[in-house]
Amino acid sequence: NRDIASRQAHDAAITLDGIEIEVAANIANDAEASQAVNLGTDGVGLLRSEFLFLDRPTPPDEEEQYQTYRAILGALDGRPLIVRTLDVGGDKPLPYLPLPAEENPFLGERGIRVGICKPAILRQQLRALLRASVHGPMKIMLPMITTVQEFRVVKAFAKTIAEELSIPLCPLGIMIEVPSAALQADTFAREVDFFSIGSNDLAQYVTAVDRGHAGLDYLADPLNPGLLRLMSMAATAAQEKGVWVGLCGGLAGDLDATPLLVGMGLSELSVSAPVIAEVKQRIRQLDSRACQTLLQQCLNSATSDEVRELLTSFTGNSK
Ligand code: PEP
Ligand code: MG
């Protein structure tokens, strides 16, 4: 099975009933972009740009960032690239960006909140991204968006920078990883260019369990039926408005969950590069209508264990 998967890694992933789903990679740098291309990726669904900023005494300047983003677009050779703006705070501190000591850093200044409160770094990053965007199909994604107002503020900021550079603003989208954004997905859909669901943080904020908590991880199960309902609701709201929606959290790489995610009608699954071939192969074995029925059963399940049992028996019957 693995052999078939790797032989067809570079082919599109199309369900039995003809629905194509992009299988993209989550990457941290340009070496990983090349590796993902070798492993058959359709694009990059999440460049975690914070990896360019971590473990160094000063931030990369505009020119260094521009060169990196351009190199990644080059490695992708025409495949689409979604770059997430700096997502620090919470569990990812930076030496040159002092953030307040907080009792609950995951509920404090992190993600786009840092960019809005201290815009100098965001400004430099948006300049570098927009300059690189003329060299390939790039989209910019904002992390931890909580309100429509935040999106508007950053969009206006990005528009001003694009005008300064005389470069058209590339598509601007958001992560759905805060429950308020998921619940308001229909409203966001009038203003954003695309969505990507971040199941890692969404699980943390829906279940009120720290994503790194070793003892309580059984509560933060990504197959929690409440979380699945919220993800499915957000995906449906986006699709009804014709807005593209992908998924870039860890759940996207769980092969048992693939039918569930196909049932949600997601346009893209962004995963770690080594599982691209297997996720594509799994998609090819599925019928999207059967997946929709499975999804409904999962949404009506009482517990994550029941969801897991449904997925296991579905996989047993459909492989
Ligand atoms: C997520 O929260 O699901 C996500 C993809 O982002 P990160 O894991 O980088 O927080
Ligand atoms: Mg996240």
249 C-beta closer than 6 A to ligand 1: yes
pLDDT, position 2: 74
pLDDT, position 132: 98
Q: CA 149 to CA 73: how far, in whole Å?
A: 31
85 C-beta closer than 6 A to ligand 1: no
Q: pLDDT truncated to tens, each residue of the chain (319 aa)?
A: 777 788 899 999 999 999 999 999 999 999 999 999 999 999 999 999 999 999 899 999 999 999 999 999 999 999 999 999 999 987 677 888 888 888 899 999 999 999 999 999 999 999 999 999 999 999 999 999 999 999 999 999 999 999 999 999 999 999 999 999 999 999 999 999 999 999 999 999 999 999 989 999 999 999 999 999 999 999 999 999 999 999 999 999 999 999 999 999 999 999 999 999 999 999 999 999 999 999 999 999 999 999 999 999 998 887 6
Q: CA 143 to CA 193: how far, in whole Å?
A: 14
201 C-beta closer than 6 A to ligand 1: yes
pLDDT, position 91: 67
126 C-beta closer than 6 A to ligand 1: no
246 C-beta closer than 6 A to ligand 1: no
For residue 222, the CA-to-ligand 1 centroid distance in Å is: 12
Q: Which residue has its alpha carbon closest to ligand 1 atom 10?
A: 201
Q: CA 64 to CA 128: how far, in whole Å?
A: 8
CA angle (187, 193, 199) in 5-degree steps: 75
Q: Which residues pair with 139 in a beta bridge?
A: 82
pLDDT, position 319: 65
Helices (H), 8-78: 30-38, 62-76
Q: CA 294 to CA 258: how far, in whole Å?
A: 11
Q: CA 204 to CA 253: how far, in whole Å?
A: 18
Q: Which residue has its alpha carbon closest to ligand 1 atom 3?
A: 198
236 C-beta closer than 6 A to ligand 1: no
50 C-beta closer than 6 A to ligand 1: no
For residue 56, the CA-to-ligand 1 centroid distance in Å is: 22
Which helix (H) or strand (E) segment is 179 a member of? helix 179-183
Contact 168, 162 (CB under 8 A): yes
pLDDT, position 155: 98
Q: CA 117 to CA 114: how far, in whole Å?
A: 5
Atom of ligand 1 nearest to the CA of 143: 6
**Angle between helix 225-240 and 199-207 (nearest 10):** 130
Atom of ligand 1 nearest to the CA of 204: 2
C-alpha distances out from residue 176 to 47, 104, 253, 307, Å? 16, 20, 17, 22
